Structure 1
Amino acid sequence: MPTNTPDPAPQPDGVPLLEVEDLTVDLLSPGGTGPAVQRVVHGVSFTLRKEETVALIGESGSGKSISAMALMGLLPAATAHVGGSARHRGTDLLALPPDQLRTRRGKHLALVFQDALSALNPTLTVGYQIAETIRAHESVGRREARTRAVELMARVRIPDPARRYRDYPHQFSGGMRQRIMIAMAVALSPDVLIADEPTTALDVTVQAQIMELLAELREETGSALLLITHDLGLAAGTADRVAIMYAGRILEQAPVQELYDRPAHPYTRGLLAAVPRLDGDADNLTPIPGSPPGPGLLSSGCPFHPRCPDVPERCATQPPMLLPVDTAPAARLVACHYPLEVSDVR
């Protein structure tokens, strides 16, 4: 049933809609009775402003998706402990009781899952699932909810939405299922939208269509978008700012053009060197040697130092802090004892 919890106050111009500070996630032993078995997110911090897109980029296992699940309160309390703070319009989401967080989730913050086929209920029509999202937060009848669901399906460009309202998830293509997920996410016009690998397993044409749709919806509603991806090219064409994650930590944050033109962290430089370029030689790509550490297997010092091409002794023993590295402190932060001087990068 819809709740009567009052809406959060509007956020003043220039103040972030979402402020994440020192987010940590510990996975606990079965039943949650034993000690934490591994820390998978280590002190992640970032901000998200109105009409802004921030891309959280990293390899599989870097902690991107579990960070999003933690922000949304979707991790089971019995097996995961979440620390830090995540302020949405001044209210710490991580400190809210479950019922109040449930009220904000969907109505003010929404998540687009990466696997739409798994996220959608296979036994219910897609139209019913969209309509029930509306009815869970607003006191509307079934007829009005159905009308709005059909409108949402049209808004995300589902052909013949009135007829397809009665179809089941398996009757849609992968790209169309993802559009249904987006329709559910934006049904209540949330001001923060988290898209977790929204183009996984889609061909490049459909990927472009999905990202164009998300950008259009963000502009229409004035919402903010947190894009979680491993695709550097996808982020380059979409994001305003980029945060690079590795082994549960953010290693570099910068405006998108600054980061791609002048990467300061050796891991960021390694990622970009391994991406094929239209104007480059695909045979001369330089992969990063080694593999990321498994959860709970971090050594002391910088988490990237076992794979770093140039490792002074300090890097193996002292973990670096995320600090400004150039003349615009708010623009670029790097967790490296010896960041490449960005003015020297060509």
Structure 2
Amino acid sequence: MNGITPAGPAPLLDVEDLTVDLLSRGGSGRSAGRNAGRIVHGISFHLDEGETLALIGESGCGKSISAMAVMGLLSDGTARVGGSVRYRGVGLLTAAPDQVRAKRGRHIAMIFQDALSALNPTLTVGFQIAEAIRVHEGVGRREARARAVELMARVRIPDPARRYRDHPHRFSGGMRQRVMIAMAMALGPDVLIADEPTTALDVTVQAQIMEILAELRAETGSALLLITHDLGLAATTADRVAIMYAGHIVEQAPVQDLYDHPLHPYTKGLLAAVPRLRGQADDLTPVPGAPPGPGLLPPGCPFHPRCPNAREPCATRRPELSPVPSARLVACHYPLEVSGAP
């Protein structure tokens, strides 16, 4: 397990050696459903009670597909999932479909990146919130409606009793995201997965969404897996951070340790490319090159073609995600050189 899972009580959510292979839709007979490329390469992480873990990486690195795999939302015809996902010690990848559905929503819920696509355009938002309550808790329509209106009020949707009857297209992007939060929190889940919850929203609305999310989590004690490419958002929200590159987790650390002393060259490059309030435009140092596509990983370390510290072992031997001091994990042959430690 590469030192991922800590000693002591079992984590609330424990993901070990998770792999996702895309399957080809073309062809027929034996050629149908063949592996079209691995996009998640054996990642491992855990989430404890009430904790926030931020999963950070560039677009296409496998963050969102990993979350979909954890939720059990990938179709068998389009993807093959391997490894282990355990919620309170119960394996979800090997559980019967009805057992997974019972966990989904009530115990593990997800806020999707594109609320407009995630919501059903033919149904009112109130009905969609209330339906989750009715299905999982078996209450009547009147009680489910009352609880849905209450949830809409808690996520600060004005005049919720009237807006209950509106369809998704009548809401702004920020209001649709509030509806998604209300749906996700309707059953008080232990684990909340938020996939880029503030994408395409202006900074003021982003702050409002994260404030609402923090308030509801404080009430329920939910743990949060925050999937983002926003290093600033992770810095103000997360307890721990996992950096993902080309389908691999390359570094995990407590948030302050990682930002103060990155040990992987990719992490260091990401932080160097973040604009700073008092900095100049020419102070930014972009990471050179581009990440490899699915099925096109180089031999050795997947980051070595872009790495300023790369040497011969980096091109031939893939580093394992291994523990280093201060409760950290890094997949690099020369992490101390990256940090500048003697």
TM-score, normalised via structure 1 length? 0.93
Residue equivalent to 1:3:
none
Matched residues in 1 for 2:166 and 2:10: separation?
A: 42
Task: Check whether the contact 2:33–2:77 (CA below 8 A) recurs between aligned residues.
Answer: no
Gaps of 5+ in 2: 1-7
- Find out whether 1:17 has 2:12 as its counterpart: yes
What SS does the aligned partner of 2:93 have? helix
Matched residues in 1 for 2:254 and 2:309: separation?
A: 26
Matched residues in 2 for 1:88 and 1:278: separation?
A: 41
Residue equivalent to 1:6:
none
Matched residues in 2 for 1:282 and 1:91: separation?
A: 49
What SS does the aligned partner of 1:336 have? coil
What SS does the aligned partner of 1:30 have? coil
Residue equivalent to 1:333:
329
- C-alpha RMSD of the superposition: 1.5
What is the identity, as a one-letter code, of the residue corresponding to 2:242? A
Give the CA deviation at 1:341. 4.9
What is the identity, as a one-letter code, of the residue corresponding to 1:30? R
Give the CA deviation at 1:342. 7.2
- Written as runs of structure 1 = structure 2, the 5 A alignment for 1:223-242 is 223-242=222-241
Matched residues in 2 for 1:343 and 1:64: separation?
A: 25
Task: Check whether the contact 2:264–2:338 (CA below 8 A) recurs between aligned residues.
Answer: no
- Written as runs of structure 1 = structure 2, the 5 A alignment for 1:54-93 is 54-93=53-92
Matched residues in 2 for 1:279 and 1:342: separation?
A: 25
What SS does the aligned partner of 1:94 have? coil
- Written as runs of structure 1 = structure 2, the 5 A alignment for 1:110-259 is 110-259=109-258
Matched residues in 1 for 2:109 and 2:339: separation?
A: 39
What SS does the aligned partner of 1:293 have? coil
What SS does the aligned partner of 2:153 have? helix
Task: Check whether the contact 2:20–2:79 (CA below 8 A) recurs between aligned residues.
Answer: yes
Give the CA deviation at 1:14. 4.9
What SS does the aligned partner of 2:306 have? coil
Gaps of 5+ in 1: 1-12
Task: Check whether the contact 1:263–1:345 (CA below 8 A) recurs between aligned residues.
Answer: no
Cα distance change of structure 1 residues 220 and 16 upon mapping to structure 2, 3 Å threshold: same
What SS does the aligned partner of 2:102 have? helix
Matched residues in 2 for 1:282 and 1:258: separation?
A: 26
**Superposed CA offset, 1:123-164 (max 9, x none):** 111000000011111111100000000010011111111111
What SS does the aligned partner of 1:300 have? coil
Residue equivalent to 1:280:
279
Matched residues in 1 for 2:63 and 2:242: separation?
A: 10
**Superposed CA offset, 1:170-208 (max 9, x none):** 111110100000000000000000000000100001111
Q: How many residues align?
A: 331
What SS does the aligned partner of 1:315 have? helix
TM-score, normalised via structure 2 length? 0.94
**Superposed CA offset, 1:88-142 (max 9, x none):** 0110111111111011100100010000011101111100000001111111110
Cα distance change of structure 1 residues 178 and 267 upon mapping to structure 2, 3 Å threshold: same
Give the CA deviation at 1:215. 1.3
